[in-house]
Amino acid sequence: MDNFNIKRKRNKKMARKELNNVVTNDSQKMTAKDLMYAGAFAAIYIVLMLVIVMGSGIVPVLYVISPITVGAVCGTVYMLSVLKVKRFGAALIIGILFALIACATNMQGLIMAICTSLLAEFVLFLGKYKSKKMYLLSFVVFNLNMSCPFSMLFFARDKFFAISEQYQGKEHTEALMKLLPDGIYFGIIGFAVIGGILGAFIANKLIKKHFEKAGIV
């Protein structure tokens, strides 16, 4: 009788383990519904980003600090997306769209943006999609994307200002050149980090209840 009970307990444990493995494997795959949510939030993120960047582009100083303003405004959208999906891919989808739109004429920036998005996904993975700190940290990493369009200042500075003059005019470009001296790209990265921290802080405040309901601590 004791042997029977021991075998029965072992069978139950094995069945639970198999069930957990199935659930885990399924939870790692994005469903059609997940793709829909991720795509919708990505579209919102891109629209907000474009409005901010294009609007601030009129004033050179505002354009230079756009990594801060975009991070502060768009952090909540990013957070809602990754919290809603809670699987690999939500951050990457936003990142790919961003790279294709914001870095269309900058191959180095495009590659950097996709790599940065993958790094943000890795941070989420390390937190097993359950750690609030990792969710917030992932956006700080993700917002480094905002420095990628400026990477041309490091790799092809003359081309950056040539494109600026083509679209914004000579006077606007000359003002930018004064604000963007050699070596400023590392300062832009700093702006992106600040924007990421601000965005994570604001998102945390705005969707605190969402974290709690989702059981994320």
Cα separations in angstroms, 134 against 99, 120, 167, 189, 217: 23, 9, 39, 20, 10
7 versus 196: which is more confidently predicted?
196
**Residue with tokens 């809603």, as numbered in its chain:** 84
- Report pLDDT for 24: 44
Mean pLDDT of 147-152: 94
Q: Taking the domains of the chain in order of start, what are their residue ranges?
A: 30-213
Question: Is residue 217 over pLDDT 50?
Answer: no
Closest to 95 in 3D by CA, of 124, 58, 55, 69: 124
- Report pLDDT for 79: 94
- Report pLDDT for 216: 54
Residue 212, both tokens: 């709690």
- Report pLDDT for 26: 44
Would you place residue 3 in the very low, low, confident or very high pLDDT band (cuts 50, 70, 90)?
Answer: low
Residue 207, φ and ψ in degrees, nearest 5 = -120, 30
Least confident of 90-99, 125-134, 160-169: 160-169
40 versus 214: which is more confidently predicted?
40
Please tell me the distance from the alpha carbon of residue 195 to that of residue 201, in angstroms, as a whole number.
Answer: 10
207 versus 21: which is more confidently predicted?
207
Question: How many of the other CB atoms lie within 10 Å of CB of 193?
Answer: 19
Per-residue pLDDT reduced to its tens digit, 50-98: 999 999 888 889 999 999 999 999 999 999 999 989 999 999 999 999 9
Question: Is residue 174 over pLDDT 80?
Answer: yes
* Beta carbons of 159 and 214 less than 8 angstroms apart: no
Mean pLDDT of 187-202: 96
Closest to 161 in 3D by CA, of 180, 185, 187: 180
DSSP secondary structure letter of residue 31: P
Question: Is residue 122 over pLDDT 90?
Answer: yes
Alpha-carbon 63 to chain mean position: 20
* Beta carbons of 113 and 148 less than 8 angstroms apart: yes
| Torsion sign (Cα): 169, 182, 103, 87 | negative
Closest to 176 in 3D by CA, of 200, 152, 160: 160
Percent of the chain with pLDDT over 90: 57
The overall pTM is greater than 0.85: no
Least confident of 45-54, 70-79, 169-178, 198-207: 169-178
**Residue with tokens 């769209």, as numbered in its chain:** 97
Residue-by-residue DSSP string for 74-130: HHHHHHHHHHHH-STTHHHHHHHHHHHHHTTT-HHHHHHHHHHHHHHHHHHHHTTTT
Percent of the chain with pLDDT over 70: 83
Question: Is residue 135 over pLDDT 60?
Answer: yes
